[in-house]
Amino acid sequence: MKRLYSLIMVSIILTDAAAQTVPMMLDECMAYAVENSTRVKKQDYTNDNYRQDRNEALASLFPSISGDVSATSNHGRSVDPQTNSYTTNINFSNTYSLSAQMPLFAGLSRINTYRATRVSVAMGREEIEQVKDEVALEVMQAYFDVVYYSKAAEFAAAQLAASTENYRKGSKQEELGIVSAAERLQLEAQMAADDYALIQQENLRDQAMIVLKERMNYPVVDELEIDTEVRVFQNGLDTPVDDVISQAMEINPRLKSAQLALRYRELNFSATKGNLWPSIHIGGGYSTSFYHDRVTPNLPSFASQLANRRGYYFGATLSVPIFGALGRHTAVKRSRNSMNIAAQNVVEVERSLQSEIEQNYRQMQGYGKEYIQASKTVEAAELAHKAITQKFEQGMVSALDLQTSANRLLEAQSRKLNAHLQYMIKCRLVEYYAGEPLIRL
């Protein structure tokens, strides 16, 4: 009985723990998205290919060694290795060989190829950081969209509750002869409009949640609960924009990836030019063999034949490219063009990044000012709506005035919320450009 009681208690505790799900914060959503992103995984496989290319290029700098073993059985006319004359019989021959070759000079093409592959490995590290940042930024935007529409739905629900209460009071006032039937109908229309607005905001919230799940690679059929609490407004980064740009020029993965791509193209161009130079290779080898037939008497043993028939060779090869249908020269020109394209891409990324930082920095300041002004507008709208509501209850203003006041309050609240959330996004972006990580767990 005690064991059964313990199992029941554990089951209840686990059920309660499962039911009390903790909403995911912004950083947790971004971390989940990066961990489960197919784009990040594909880039990881690409980086592994970069590492394999580097290993292959490194191996090409070392000697190549190969060994061969062959066995042949001849039936009929063949050459007797003992007398080097033709004979007709059944014989068996067995050969063994080992050879090695190493490049001494090839226009530094192999060395530059290896250096280029090392740069590609470093470039891959920057590319995967860039992909992670892009995924995190997309999730951040989708996250704040859900927060915005969730809060907008709360505002709409509050306005619907208020308009429903006003309609209830208006119906009683109509019975008392304080308001007319037209005004009561106006209140009913306002209540229906607020109900429609609530449904619309809830639909937008649900659509934003679907987009967030897609950005996170989260199962669409599973429930996702996020923290929609809007934090207290705080001043953002006060670092001058020039300092932010200078810092981004040093650490931004998109720019570093473009710079490494240029370096890769430069080394690839040097390697391609190296193919126009003569190449020198040295090599050597060892070989021996064994022979046996059914006719020749007293053939040497296997061991003695291997010892007596062994041979060695050493040599060097000089290869001079003279004419190859202009293949090498056109390859050099294409490689030079690729290098120039990469150089222009660096300039383009630098300018784009500087403009992007400048815009986000100014937008951060602008949304901060908008939030302060919107907060004042909301305070004034709340006071005005409260006063008009009291006057309406006293029969001093019409239902149309009450409706206009409620719409102004809702619009002011929406503007304040939008300014606050956009300000938070821009602060994160500017801090990211200044060197702060996007995901802060």
pLDDT, tens digit, 9 for 90 and up, residues 343-388? 999 999 999 999 999 999 999 999 999 999 999 999 999 999 899 8
Query: How many angstroms separate the CA atoms of 212 and 422, rounded?
Result: 17
pLDDT tens digits, 318-330: 888 887 767 788 9
Residue 81 confidence (pLDDT): 62
Do 311 and 397 have their domain in common?
no
3-state secondary structure at position 436: coil
Q: Is residue 79 very low, low, confident or very high in pLDDT (cuts 50, 70, 90)?
A: low
Do 332 and 316 have their domain in common?
no
Which token pair is 282?
A: 């040295």
Which token pair is 395?
A: 């029969």
Whether the CB-CB separation of 97 and 130 falls below 8 Å is answered with no
Instruction: Label residue 180 exposed, middle or buried (CB < 10 Å: 0-12, 13-18, 19+).
Output: middle
Q: Is the pLDDT of residue 270 over 80?
A: yes
Whether the CB-CB separation of 57 and 113 falls below 8 Å is answered with yes
Q: Is residue 208 very low, low, confident or very high in pLDDT (cuts 50, 70, 90)?
A: very high
Which token pair is 226?
A: 């996020």
The residue among 126, 144, 128 whose CA lies nearest residue 426 is: 144
Please tell me what DSSP assigns to residue 232.
P
Q: Is residue 183 very low, low, confident or very high in pLDDT (cuts 50, 70, 90)?
A: confident
The residue-averaged pLDDT of 380-398 equals 86
Any domain includes 184: no
Averaged pLDDT score across all residues of the chain: 87
Do 246 and 115 have their domain in common?
yes
When comparing pLDDT for 174 and 427, which is higher?
Answer: 427
The residue-averaged pLDDT of 229-253 equals 86
The domain of 367 spans: 22-62+108-143+231-277+322-433
Whether the CB-CB separation of 416 and 111 falls below 8 Å is answered with no
Any domain includes 421: yes
Percent of the chain whose predicted confidence (pLDDT) is above 70: 91
Any domain includes 212: no
Do 120 and 251 have their domain in common?
yes
**Considering its fold, how many domains does the chain have in total?**
2
Do 57 and 76 have their domain in common?
no
Q: Is the pLDDT of residue 18 over 80?
A: no
Q: Which residue has the tokens 């290896």?
A: 114
Q: Is the pLDDT of residue 182 over 60?
A: yes
The residue among 269, 281, 339, 291 whose CA lies nearest residue 314 is: 281
Task: Give the residue from 320, 349, 376 where a domain finishes.
Answer: 320
When comparing pLDDT for 76 and 387, which is higher?
Answer: 387
The residue among 271, 274, 315, 280 whose CA lies nearest residue 104 is: 280
Query: How many angstroms separate the CA atoms of 438 and 425, rounded?
Result: 11
Q: Is the pLDDT of residue 70 over 50?
A: yes
Q: What angle do CA 344, 346, 351 make, to 5 degrees?
A: 95
CA atoms lying within 13 Å on the CB side of residue 346: 16
Which token pair is 85?
A: 């004359």
Distances (CA, A) of 92 to 293, 304, 349: 6, 16, 70
Q: Is the pLDDT of residue 131 over 80?
A: yes
The residue-averaged pLDDT of 126-150 equals 95
Any domain includes 2: no
Strand (E) or helix (H) holding 32: helix 26-36
Q: Is the pLDDT of residue 1 over 70?
A: no
Do 114 and 80 have their domain in common?
no
The residue-averaged pLDDT of 407-434 equals 93
Do 237 and 127 have their domain in common?
yes
Instruction: Label residue 176 exposed, middle or buried (CB < 10 Å: 0-12, 13-18, 19+).
Output: exposed
Do 293 and 420 have their domain in common?
no
Q: Domain holding 128: CATH number? A: 1.20.1600.10
Which token pair is 234?
A: 């705080």
Any domain includes 360: yes
Cα 397 to chain centroid distance, Å, stands at 58
Any domain includes 179: no
Query: How many angstroms separate the CA atoms of 206 and 204, rounded?
Result: 5
Cross-strand partners of 100: 65, 284
CA atoms lying within 13 Å on the CB side of residue 220: 7
Which token pair is 93?
A: 């021959």
Name residue 254's amino acid: R
Task: Give the residue from 320, 341, 372 where a domain finishes.
Answer: 320
Query: How many angstroms separate the CA atoms of 254 and 130, rounded?
Result: 6
Query: How many angstroms separate the CA atoms of 217 and 219, rounded?
Result: 7
Do 287 and 353 have their domain in common?
no
Any domain includes 210: no
Any domain includes 77: yes
Residue 15 confidence (pLDDT): 45
pLDDT tens digits, 35-56: 999 999 999 999 999 999 999 9
pLDDT tens digits, 410-423: 999 999 999 999 99
Do 290 and 416 have their domain in common?
no
When comparing pLDDT for 310 and 146, which is higher?
Answer: 146
Do 238 and 342 have their domain in common?
yes
3-state secondary structure at position 227: coil
Do 351 and 382 have their domain in common?
yes
